[in-house]
Structures are given as C-alpha cells and as structure tokens.
C-alpha cells in the first residue's frame, strides 16, 4: 500500500509508490508525450511532468524516482484526482502476468519482451487530450502532426498549476467554439479540424466512458474518427494492451516483416499474425517499434507538407 501525505491549499499533494524490479520510468512515460517538445509534459533527468484537465479542475503531476520508490506530486485544484491515478499514469496497473508465456511463441517477441520488461503501459484516464494528438496524426507525417499539435497548444493553452511551466491541454469548449478556418495557420486542414470539433462537442461524455470498449464505440461513432484513432487513444487512456491501430501506414508491414519475414502486409494479415498474442496485440506492436524493427523500404518517404501555406 502506498503511503499518502497531503498538504492542501497552495502546497502539493504527495504520494509514494513502491516500484517493481526493473521498472523503467522514462520508457514508460515517453509514450504520453510528443517527441522533442510537448507543452503539456516534460521528461528529463529521471523526472516526469504531465499537465491535465481533470474532473476536479486543472492540475499537473510530477513523477520522480528515488531508488525503488516513485514520488508522485500533484499541483492545482485537480491534484487529488491525479494523485489517485498516479500509479496508473506510471504504468503500475499494467498487468503483464500472462505476457511472457504468449511472447515465448515467437523468438523475436520473446527477446523484445525481455529487453523492455521494465516498460509499462500508462493509463491516464483522460481521453480528450490524447484524442487531440491522435486526430492531428491522421494521414500525415509525425512531423506535420506534432508541429500542428504544438501550434494548437500555444494558441489554446493556459498555464498549468505547478512550477514546471507547462500549459494545460486545450479546453474542449474553446476548440468547439472556434471557426474551422482559424486552425489553418496551425497547419491543420478542414477535415481534421472538423473531426476535432465534433469530438470536442461530446468531450464530457467521452470522459465518462467506463472502459476501453465503451470508449472505442463512442469514439468510432464520431464522423472522422475510425479504428486507428480510437486504438491510439485507448492504449494511452486505459492502458489497453490489446488495442491495435488498424489502418496505419507502417504497422502492417512492420508486423508482417517481423513475425513472418514478409516485406509487405495488409491489416488482415497483421491481425492474423498477432492473433497468438491476443490480449497483448497492441503491446507487441509497441515492442516492435521500441526495438527499431521496420520493413524494408522500397519507395521515397512521404513528403513533409504544411497546410498553413496552402
């Protein structure tokens, strides 16, 4: 049982969490942030920060490791809510008990499972923030998506509680109320903007989803949000280790190459090859990415564009 000490008012709320052997904080937390610079988070020197709009108000969470213990410190009106979920955000609710047996069925997966055994799947419990990033990553390169994400955050973001200098994720109401053409200078075209605004209109209902399955149903009922986007969201929000990003540009080829030596694969072939790992199919895809596994390239890279210049 974690020890919890609290100090209300302007001071922080702190919780100490024991860590399992081999736990890797950086590898676990990295998936929650946009690479290089995320206005809503920071990862440096064994210390992690994340801002959030919780049901109890804005907050920021600091995770700092000291030996076999993780200290979680919350700031702001929603600090108590974040502290209650600190173990989930740190991936400590991730259940890998049956995964080594499944991983043993393929030598590459077994090796990667051992190499990255200390990396866990975090679960933030907050949908809309991750959904913003997933929508912006639809059908564009990561560089384009992350450039748009940072521009969006700079425009809509408000200072987050705490000393880290973070911004809060955008308020869904503000995004819903903004005309679509105002997103164009961020490099976000009308199609993705409208998907984002439709989601913003039902954000409160999305945040009340009880589990990954309900969230997937509600998300894919929104025009402009399909299985790929939903899977990207529920893996980070609920720690759903089985969520596979069907419809991805690279993952079917990566899985086909890694698991069967086939340079190209379809979504159907990918799911067939992942079936022995059911319950952890998304985890296997994450392991292949973490291991730097990729199918041979036969053509030019997708060009980097900027919709802001169109």
* Residues sharing a CB contact under 8 Å with residue 71, sequence separation 6 or more, in sequence order: 14, 15, 16, 17, 62, 63, 64, 65
pLDDT at 216: 98
Q: Which residues of the chain have pLDDT under 70?
A: 1-11, 299-310
Nearest to 116 by CA among 88, 96, 90: 96
Rounded to whole angstroms, the Cα distance separating 15 from 4 reads: 5
CB-based burial, 109-134: b 16+ in 10 Å, e otherwise:
beebbeebbbbbbbbbbbbbbbbbbb
Measured CA distances, 269 to 27, 257, 263 (Å): 29, 11, 12
pLDDT at 36: 83
pLDDT at 2: 37
Residue range 187-233, pLDDT digits in tens: 999 999 999 999 999 999 999 999 999 999 999 999 999 999 999 99
For the chain, the straight-line distance linking the first and the last C-alpha, in angstroms and rounded, comes to 55
CATH 3.30.310, applies to 3-93: yes
pLDDT at 5: 42
Domain-wise residue ranges, the chain: 3-93, 127-209, 251-290
Residue range 277-304, pLDDT digits in tens: 999 999 999 999 999 999 998 755 555 5
Task: Kindly state the tokens that stand for 254.
Answer: 């990566």
Order of strands, sheet of 13-18, starting from the edge strand that comes earlier in the sequence: 3-6, 13-18, 69-75, 57-66, 47-54, 41-44
Q: Three-class SS string for the chain?
A: CCEEEECCCCCCEEEEEECCCCCCHHHHHHHHCCCCCECCEEEECCEEEEEEEECCEEEEEEEEEECCEEEEEEECCCHHHHHHCHHHHCCCCCCCCCHHHHHCCCHHHHHHHHHCCCCCCCCCCCHHHHHHHHHHCCCCCHHHHHHHHHHHHHHHCCECCCCCCCECCCCHHHHHCCCHHHHHHHCCCHHHHHHHHHHHHCHHHHHCCCCHHHHHHHHHCCCCCCHHHHHHHHHHHHCCCCCCCCCCCCHHHHHHHHHHCCCCCCHHHHHHHHHHHCCCHHHHHHHHHHCCCCCCCCCCCCCCCCHHHC
Place of tokens 């929508």: 135
Domain 127-209 - what CATH class? mainly alpha
Task: Kindly state the tokens that stand for 277.
Answer: 């790992």
Measured CA distances, 104 to 93, 108, 252 (Å): 23, 9, 21
pLDDT at 114: 97
């Amino acid at each position: 049982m974690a020890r919890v000490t609290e100090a209300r008012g302007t001071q922080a709320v702190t919780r100490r969490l024991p860590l399992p052997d081999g736990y890797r904080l950086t590898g676990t937390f990295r998936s929650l942030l946009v690479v290089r610079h995320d206005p809503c988070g920071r990862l440096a020197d064994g210390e992690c920060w994340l801002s959030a709009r919780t049901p109890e108000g804005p907050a920021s969470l600091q995770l700092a490791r000291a030996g076999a213990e993780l200290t979680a410190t919350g700031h702001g009106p929603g600090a108590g809510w974040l502290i209650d979920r600190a173990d989930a955000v740190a991936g400590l609710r991730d259940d890998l008990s049956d995964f080594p047996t499944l991983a043993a069925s393929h030598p590459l997966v077994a090796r990667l499972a051992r190499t990255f055994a200390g990396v866990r799947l975090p679960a933030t419990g907050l949908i809309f923030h991750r959904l913003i990033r997933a929508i912006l990553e639809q059908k564009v390169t990561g560089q384009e998506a992350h450039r748009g994400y940072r521009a969006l955050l700079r425009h809509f973001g408000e200072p987050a509680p705490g000393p880290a200098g973070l911004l809060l994720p955008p308020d869904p109401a503000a995004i819903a109320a903004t005309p679509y053409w105002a997103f164009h200078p961020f490099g976000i075209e009308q199609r993705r903007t409208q998907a984002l605004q439709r989601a913003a209109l039902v954000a409160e209902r999305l945040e009340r989803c009880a589990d990954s399955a309900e969230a997937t149903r509600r998300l894919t009922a929104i025009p402009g949000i399909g299985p790929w986007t939903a899977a990207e969201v529920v893996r980070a929000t609920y720690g759903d280790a089985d969520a596979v990003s069907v419809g991805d540009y690279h993952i079917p080829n990566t899985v086909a190459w890694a698991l069967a030596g086939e340079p190209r694969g379809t979504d159907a072939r990918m799911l067939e090859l992942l079936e022995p790992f059911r319950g952890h199919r998304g985890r296997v895809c994450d392991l292949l990415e973490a291991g730097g596994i990729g199918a041979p390239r036969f053509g030019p890279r997708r060009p980097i564009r900027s919709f802001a210049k169109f």
